[in-house]
Chains A and B, each alone.
Chain A
Amino acid sequence: MDEVVISVSGLCVRFAGRGSIEPVTALDGVDLELRRGEITGLLGPNGSGKTTLLRVLSGDLAATSGSVSVLGTHPGDPRTVSRLGVQPDAKLPFPHLGAAELLEYLGTLTGMPRLAARAKAAALIERLALLGAGRRPVRTFSTGMARRLGIAAAMLTDPEVLLLDEPTAGLDPNGSLLVCEMLQELAGRGRAVLVASHHLQEVEQISDRIYLLHRGKVATEGALDDVLGTDQFELLVSGLDEARRERIAQAVVESGGKPEAWRRARRHLFALFRELDGNP
């Protein structure tokens, strides 16, 4: 399962300046690996180089220097078209088409037989809760619906590798949860998923590994526990009054530890939203 499907080494991308516009180094010596069965989070503030990296991996942009291997070949190799699913952070094409029609069209562009594309489109529309909007023109979609449709488009060919740029931006909590669950399911089926986002909490929840980009460089990377883990441990307890909690704190001190804080555990807002929607 830990087979490397995307490998990036020393990647640099520079945009030449023109006139009064200064040249920009968007990526500077980036190393990255993407493995089967893993969700990799690509984090960083705006302008850190996340989208540029995705564009290079999808073959949309040439690297200035460094080496990039996608599914054993160069980015943009036509043989990888159906093996690589990409969801750019851009508005959808052909906005006059309905969701089903758009997915079918995009499917045929990737070389899928028409009937297979139609069947896959119908399945994805159902999976991404877009059933009521199958025939509506895409231009009438809300941001969240368009985002979900974009993810469906990236998944049309059941690709081995998924590159998603801000997949949950504009989604309501239920939509986010749906997408996150789906990505975890895909990783469970051996797919490699790269999620670029600045929504730290979501990425943290679903990622096995993260890469943190800062000003075009990898600031830190690794498995979540390695990157974010501390020497502190949390214990969740219930059914204790304050006096008993105090006794536990005392026991911690006697054991040589140091109680840092009592924090009341909270439900996640997701749970509240689901509850409101009648999905406890």
Chain B
Amino acid sequence: MNVVRACALRTLRRLVLPSVFAIGFAWLATRADAVRTTTGDADFAALVWLHVPALWLTGAALLIAIDEWPLFHRGREDAAWIARIAPGPWHGCAAAMAGALLGLATGLGIVAAVFAALLTASEGAHVRARVPLPAIGEPTLVPNAGTIRFDARDAGSIAQLDVRATPIRRVGDPILPVGLEVFADGARLHDAPFEVAASSHRVRLRFEARDVEQIEVRRSPGYAPVLLSFPPNAIEAGSATERSAIGNAILAALSYLLPATLALATLCVLRRVVRGPVAVVLLLGVPIIATVLELTPNGAAIDACARGRWLPSEPLLTSSLVFAIWFTLAMVASAFVGRRR
């Protein structure tokens, strides 16, 4: 039995009860709040509640980790037994950390799968990779010009298009709808023109899967001449390949491993300085801070999951980079922390 295996099994065993509570609570919350949507934007809206079991399990696993391995902080009496024999430059902390994260990963995966299976998605919701299409030329549709084009050559085979144009009005102007029509390589993608009034209004068009080179958005005649802006991500193509919603939820939940890793890595550095209560505060505080400040991509991942976006295709790398730097520095520094208590 090595440290990784022992800590993983122990973490998993001790996470059973918190998992049951977390699923029960989050499921009840979704029933009470009835988070559902009829817009095409939040296909799996109730999955935002995945934050609750994920955060709960993360906190529980971190506390289990420091309980399992006595060298994570000062002042543990039983540390005297293993301080001398703990292996490696991290004196077993890295192995215990890996074990705890492995246990947490399994727990998160199971909870997310159960959770995603319990919750109903909005009608016609699918998990797809989304590709923002860049505008060819100025990303605005001026009142007197009828057309704006988007390059879809890099999107591959697509079966869905999300359109979110932003009307630009002067203060005091009445809010009047603008009619739009969308064409893929000259073929119209829908029967009747659709209307855009508010800037947050996203329209989803579904069609037979096809390879498209260019998307064209035209202003329908007979509507108010309002200036329309198409910022980046205003037109997003949805890949023709449908992905597993449960798989996507599992990936989203697993993103909580990153703040958990940061918390344990930080504690590894400070293990000779902090005692139990401070270690607990640190372990529970770091994931929350990392999530709120978006130092780790778990918040964005669950958000994207709730919108039916296939996570592996999402640009979550920026915050992952902060995580990678923090983690690397912490682990390197902690390798130089002595084992003497």
| Chain B residues closer than 8 Å to A90, beta-carbon distance | 77-78, 80-81
Q: Which of B3, B78, B85, B86 has the most CB of A within 10 A?
A: B85
- The yes or no answer to B285 lying at the interface (CB within 8 A) is no
A81, A93, A96: which has the most chain B beta carbons within 10 Å?
A93
The answer to whether B6 has its CB under 8 Å from any CB of chain A is yes
Total interface residues on B, CB under 8 Å, equals 22
Which A residues form the contact surface with B (CB < 8 A)?
55, 58-62, 76, 81, 84, 86, 88, 90-94, 96, 101, 104-106, 108-111, 114, 150, 153
Q: A59-B340, A60-B341, A96-B10 are contacts. A108–B1 as well, Cβ < 8 Å?
A: yes
Cβ contact within 8 Å between A108 and B341: no
**Set of chain A residues within 8 Å of B68, measured between Cβ atoms:** 94
Asked if B78 and A76 sit within 8 Å, CB to CB, the answer is no
B78 & A109 in contact (Cβ 8 Å cutoff): no
For the residues of A in contact with B, the DSSP-based class is loop
Q: Are B341 and A61 in contact (CB under 8 A)?
A: yes
Establish whether residues A93 and B85, one from each chain, have CB atoms under 8 Å apart when the complex forms: no
Q: Convert B58-69 into 0s and 1s, putting 1 for each residue whose CB lies closer than 8 angstroms to a CB of A.
A: 000000000010
> Does B84 belong to the interface (CB within 8 Å)?
yes
Smallest CB separation, B94 vs chain A (Å) = 14
The chain B residues found within 8 Å of chain A, CB to CB, are 1-3, 6, 10, 68, 70, 77-87, 92, 339-341
Docked Cα-Cα span, A115 to B92, in Å, equals 21
| A60 and B84 in contact, given A105-B6, A109-B3, A114-B1 (Cβ under 8 angstroms) | yes
With contacts A108-B1, A109-B3 taken as known, whether A81 is within 8 angstroms of B84 at the C-beta atoms is: yes
A93 to B70, Cβ gap below 8 A?
Answer: yes
Known: A91-B78, A93-B81, A96-B10. 19 other contacts (CB 8 A): A55-B80, A58-B84, A60-B340, A60-B341, A61-B340, A86-B84, A88-B81, A90-B77, A92-B81, A94-B78, A105-B6, A106-B82, A106-B85, A108-B1, A108-B2, A109-B3, A109-B85, A110-B85, A153-B81
- For A88, give its contact among B3, B80, B87, B339 (CB under 8 Å): B80
A91–B70 Cα gap in the complex (Å)? 12
Which residues from chain A contact B10 at a C-beta distance below 8 Å? 96
Q: Quick check: B340 and A109 within 8 Å, CB to CB? A: no
Q: Are B341 and A109 in contact (CB under 8 A)?
A: no
Are B341 and A93 touching (Cβ within 8 A)?
Answer: no
Alpha-carbon distance A92/B79, docked complex (angstroms): 9
Q: Is the CB of A93 within 8 A of B83?
A: no
**Cβ–Cβ < 8 Å partners of A55 in chain B:** 80
Contact assessment for B78 and A92 in the assembled complex, using a CB-CB cutoff below 8 Å: yes
Which residues of A are found within 8 Å of B87, using beta-carbon distances? 109, 111
Quote the shortest CB–CB distance from A70 to chain B (angstroms): 11
